[in-house]
Amino acid sequence: MSSRGVNFEECPSLVSHGSARASPPIDSTDIEQPIELEAKGTRHSQYYFKDGNVVLLIEEVLYNVHRYFFERDSAYFRPILASVQGADERSPIVLPDVSCSDFDEFLAILYPTDFRRPTEKTTAQWTSILHLAAKWGFESIQLLAIDKLTATAIPVDKIVLGRRYGISDWLPGAYEAVCTRADPLTVEEGMKLGVEDIIKISAARQAYGYAKARYEIKHLSQDLGDIFKLEMPFEKLSVGSTDTEENAIKILEDQVVTVQAEFAAFPTPTQTHCRAYAGYPPSVNCISNGHQSYNICAGCQAPKVLESDERRLKREDKEDKERRLNDLREKHDVKQRDLAEKQERMSLFR
C-alpha cells in the first residue's frame, strides 16, 4: 500500500543555535514535490471529520479534512489535490516533516470552535501557524498571523521572524527597541538572533550610549566564573555553605536558650538601700528625689550589686553566646542578601 506525500521542513524553532543570522525568508518553491510513502496511522480525535474528503497523514495520525479550504486558499495544495483524486485512509497524502501540534494550531484557524474569541493564541502558536501558512501559500492566514504577532511578539522574536518570513516592516522598530533598552541581551535571545546580530546590537549599544552599567564594577571579578562557567555554579556552592551556617545558628540558639535558663535560676542580687528611704525600693534615694546628698549617701551614689562569682561567670557566658548568635545571624543575612543580588545579576546571562 502506497501513498503520496508532501515533503517540507518542520516549523523551525526561534532559536538559531549559533547561526550567523536568523534564517532568510522562506521561498515556497523550495518545498519538494509529493513522494511515495507507506502509510499507517490512527484517526485524530478532533480533526477526522465524517464528511471530510481528503485524508492527510502526519506523525502516524490521520486527518480527514475538507479539500475545499486547501484548494481555495493554498497555491501549493491546489495542483497537488487536482492530481490526487479520492484520497482515503488507504492512500492518504503524507506530510512527513510537519508536527501534529503545528498542524492542529493551523486547523484551529480553519475550524474555529469559539467564534467570540477565535484567535487567542501565544507567540509560539502563531509562529507555527505563520510557518505553515507561508510554506503552503495560505496568504490570508499568513497575514492574520502577522497581524497577531505584530501586537504580541517581543522585539527579538520580531527580528528572527521578520528575517525568516520577509516581514521587513518589523525590523527597524524591533532593532531599535533592542538596541535602546536598559537590559542587555540574554543568552536565550542571543541563541535566537545568531552571532552577526549579537555583535552588531552590542556595538550599537556601545556606540549610542545605551550600554550603561547596571551594577557596580566591583561585582565583575566575583561574577566572571559564573558568567563564563569557569567554576562550579554559585548556586551549588552556596547550598552547602548556607546549610552549614543555618545548622550553626540552630546549635547556638539552643545553647543560648539553655544558658539563659541557667542564668535565670540564679537569685537576683539586691542593691544597697538608701538609709533615708529605707522603706522604699533600692532605686529610690535622696538623689532620685532631688535632695542633696550626704556622706551617708555614698552607697546611693554608687549602688553596689551583690553578685556571686558563679552568677557573674554565667552572665558573661550568656552575654557572649547572645553576642555570637547576633553576629552569626547578621553575617548570614548579609550573605543571603548578597546571594539574592548575585542571582539577579546572573539572570541576565541565562
Question: How confident is the model at residue 21, as a pLDDT?
Answer: 56
Cβ of 295: how many Cβ atoms within 10 Å? 5
Contacts 24+ apart (CB under 8 A), 245-249: 245/328, 245/331, 245/332, 245/335, 246/332, 248/328, 249/325, 249/328, 249/329, 249/332
Range of the domain at 127: 3-153
For 303, the 3-state DSSP assignment is: coil
Q: Does residue 264 share a domain with residue 136? A: no
For 35, the 3-state DSSP assignment is: strand
Question: How confident is the model at residue 109, as a pLDDT?
Answer: 94
Question: How confident is the model at residue 81, as a pLDDT?
Answer: 87
Picking from 153, 176, 205, the residue at the C-terminal end of a domain is: 153
Question: How confident is the model at residue 338, as a pLDDT?
Answer: 87
Q: Does residue 149 share a domain with residue 14? A: yes
Q: Write down the pTM of the prediction.
A: 0.61
Question: How confident is the model at residue 267, as a pLDDT?
Answer: 84
Chunked into runs of 10 residues, the chain (350 residues) has average pLDDT values of 47 59 52 47 92 92 94 89 75 90 96 78 95 96 96 95 94 92 91 93 83 76 74 63 87 94 84 62 63 58 68 93 94 90 79
CATH code: domain of residue 48: 3.30.710.10
Strands 3-5 and 42-48: unpaired
Q: Which residues are registered as beta bridge partners of 48?
A: 64
Phi, psi angles (nearest 5°) of residue 5: -135, 160
Cβ of 266: how many Cβ atoms within 10 Å? 14
Q: Does residue 20 share a domain with residue 141? A: yes
Picking from 137, 153, 169, the residue at the C-terminal end of a domain is: 153
Question: How confident is the model at residue 90, as a pLDDT?
Answer: 84
Residue found under cell 499507517: 40
Question: How confident is the model at residue 61, as a pLDDT?
Answer: 95
How many domains does one find in the chain? 3
How far is it, in rounded angstroms, from Cα 312 to Cα 320? 12
How far is it, in rounded angstroms, from Cα 146 to Cα 33? 27
How far is it, in rounded angstroms, from Cα 195 to Cα 311? 73
The DSSP line for 123-139 is: HHHHHHHHHHHHHHTBH
Picking from 118, 153, 188, the residue at the C-terminal end of a domain is: 153
* 8 A C-beta contact, residue 178 and residue 208: no
